[in-house]
Chain A
């Protein structure tokens, strides 16, 4: 059965999220909360001298959409420069998730990981 929202890869990422770990070393961390459901994720990022992501991980629970989203954005970020990640839009994130038509109520879930990543770059809380 192919569910329009809960596709198999989304459910797979929910059951076994990618990068759900605290890296041994990291430069910045940021905790982001979805005010609608109070789900909270914390992201940890390590950069090289050129500002490229060398390691990234996260902690925190959430719904299938937010867990899949943060799995995909943390995969995507590896090796990418800060500037490129800062430019990413909501639409980029929805393309990454493969869910272009998500309802407004779930947009916060879909972009939770992206927001956490961008805020960690823009307003870094040092470790």
Chain B
């Protein structure tokens, strides 16, 4: 498929022809086929799942479970290993709340210095209750890669290793397989991957990664908001993870005194799930597969290189790896004499949407001694012209502030 024609498939871009959308790391745009899939549910077979014996409820169940199958194939998992959540933050909180009570003051968990608040704050709060230590894999602040010499913070007392596959600030890709191997060898620690920033940009194979859990959001992979996925290895979901929410659909039998849980994944999906969201996410997966990884990676790497080169040539400082091989198209930058807020304001005048600030990673910015950064992040719909438009804006920023 021709990447140049993809813009036409996104109503937000069609309805805003002047918009240059470079904020896909915050939320990607939604293609027409995803909206159509959700509309079809609302207009033709709107009903609850797993309940009615009537036709449209059966169709709703079929579509909802069909989406689970599509998503499972997409990450090389089994369908009953896919739990629908509200998003990455929901998935990480669910894991923190459920796994932390088994930890004590003798234990530690390991994160990295480049975590989003969603993979830091829940653990901090749990540590206050259960007394475990939080350790960090360090960041090389020259290459912006994780420092292999610091992987030894994982030791015999490490119970959980949880990390972002891709940094939402730096674009750095974590050496996930290596970290997971070390976690297994040192202590059989549970491993959790925050795939929010990788899921739409690099292929994910949970069997190859060998992680115990992996979480992501629908809205960063061309799907709707309010839906996400918690993947868990079958044995983990069946034997090691207790339900977090209780209610209907997650039970097999209930008495006035107690309840017996349903099978996986249903024991983790209490209440009526986000049916339209799941159906939309299934359509988003098909959209990504329709383009194909080869095309996506080639397109995004080529644009990332252009973006980095153009910024660097104009004296802008990149906060992240400098070549596209070890990073994705999340490109944060600073202009030393200009505050990121002012950069965002001025490029917006040319219709260019970028994110400015701390990107929900305040500790990382403080460690790098930055008050904030400006961040341009790519999606499949971006083009070379988008980068040219951004650069016009950046040149204007420099012109206004250099006098």
Genuine A/B complex? yes
- Chain A residues engaging chain B, CB cutoff 8 angstroms: 3, 5-6, 8, 11, 36-39, 61-66, 103, 105-106, 109
Chain A residues with Cβ below 8 Å from B365 are 38
Could you name 23 residue pairs across A and B whose Cβ atoms are closer than 8 Å?
A: A3-B400, A5-B345, A6-B342, A6-B400, A8-B403, A11-B401, A36-B357, A37-B341, A37-B356, A37-B357, A37-B358, A38-B357, A38-B365, A38-B371, A39-B339, A39-B341, A61-B339, A62-B341, A64-B338, A64-B339, A64-B401, A65-B341, A105-B345
What's the least CB distance linking A60 to chain B, in Å? 9
A61 to B341, CA, bound (A): 12
With a CB–CB cut-off of 8 A, which chain B residues contact A3?
A: 400
Chain A residues with Cβ below 8 Å from B357 are 36-38
Confirm or deny: B393 has a beta carbon within 8 angstroms of a beta carbon on chain A: no
A64 to B402, CA, bound (A): 13
Chain A, Cβ-Cβ closest to B358: A38
Seed contacts A37-B372, A64-B339; 4 additional CB < 8 Å A-B pairs: A38-B371, A64-B342, A64-B401, A65-B341
CB contacts (< 8 Å) of A38 on chain B: these are 357-358, 362, 365, 371-372
For the A-B complex, the count of residue pairs with Cβ-Cβ distances under 8 Å equals: 49
Distance between A67 CB and nearest chain B CB, rounded to angstroms: 8
A21 to B356 Cα, complex, angstroms:
27
What's the minimum C-beta distance from B149 to chain A, rounded to whole angstroms? 31
What mask results when residues 342 to 357 of chain B are scored 1 for a CB within 8 Å of chain A, else 0? 1001100000000011
Q: A109 to B346, alpha carbons, bound, how many Å? A: 15
Residue of A nearest to B366 (CB): A38
B79 contacts partner chain A, Cβ-Cβ < 8 Å? no
Does B228 sit at the interface, judged by CB under 8 A?
A: no
Task: Find out whether the CB atom of A63 lies under 8 angstroms from the CB atom of B339.
Answer: yes
A interface footprint on B303-344 (CB within 8 Å = 1, 0 otherwise)? 000000000000000000000000000000000001111100
In the complex, the chain B residue whose C-beta lies closest to that of A60 is B371
> Which chain B residue shows the least CB distance to A34?
B341
Q: How far is the CA of A8 from the CA of B402 in the complex (A)?
A: 11
Task: Tell me, rounded to whole Å, the shortest Cβ–Cβ distance linking B349 to chain A.
Answer: 9
Identify the closest chain B residue to A6 (Cβ). B400
Q: How distant is the Cα of A62 from the Cα of B338 in the complex, in angstroms?
A: 9
**Within 8 Å CB of A5, what residues of B?**
345
Q: List residues of chain B with CB within 8 A of the CB of A105.
A: 345
Partner of A62, one of B339, B358, B401: B339
Which residue of A has the minimal Cβ distance to B402?
A11
CB-CB nearest in chain B for A106: B345
CA distance A37 to B339 in the complex (A): 10
Q: Are B403 and A11 in touch, CB under 8 angstroms?
A: yes
Cβ distance A16 to chain B, nearest Cβ, rounded Å: 12
Tell me how far the C-beta of B342 lies from the nearest C-beta in chain A, rounded to whole angstroms: 5
Distance between Cα atoms of A14 and B346 in the complex (Å): 16
Contact B403 A37 (CB under 8 A): no
Alpha-carbon distance A62/B372, docked complex (angstroms): 10
CB within 8 Å of A: which B350-397 residues: 356-358, 362, 365, 371-372
Inter-chain CA distance A122–B298, complex, in Å, is 57
Which among B340, B342, B372 has the highest number of chain A CB atoms within 10 Å? B342
Contacts of A6 in B (CB 8 A): 342, 346, 400-401
Q: With CB as the reference atom, state the residue of chain B lying closest to A4.
A: B349
Chain B positions within 8 Å of A37 at CB level: 340-341, 356-358, 371-372
